[in-house]
């Protein structure tokens, strides 16, 4: 994935988490579902970005 795609994925996760938090405060039922989804999306984006950075760093060292 490109950095732009990872950034978009991270932003979607952040928006979902914020929306879930807001709806949890407002005591909506489905907010309990949005919070973990947003956190998983954020974690995935950060993990993929870190793995990509490590891969790029290793490929530069080997060249």
Q: What is the DSSP string of 21-51?
A: HHHHHTT-TTHHHHHHHHHHHHHHHHHHHHH
Query: Higher model confidence: residue 58 or residue 47?
Result: 47
Confidence of residue 63 (pLDDT cuts 50, 70, 90): low
pLDDT at position 2 is 83
Query: pLDDT > 70: what percent of the chain?
Result: 98
CA distance linking residue 9 with residue 28, whole number of Å: 25
- CA geometry: angle at 42 spanning 59 and 55, to 5°? 5
Model pTM? 0.83
Over 90: is that where the pLDDT of 30 sits?
A: no
């Amino acid at each position: 994935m490109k950095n732009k795609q990872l950034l978009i994925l991270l932003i979607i996760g952040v928006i979902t988490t914020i929306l879930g938090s807001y709806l949890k405060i407002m005591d909506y039922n489905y907010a309990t579902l949005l919070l973990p989804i947003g956190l998983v999306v954020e974690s995935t984006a950060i993990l993929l970005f870190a793995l990509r950075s490590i891969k790029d760093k290793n490929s530069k060292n080997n060249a």
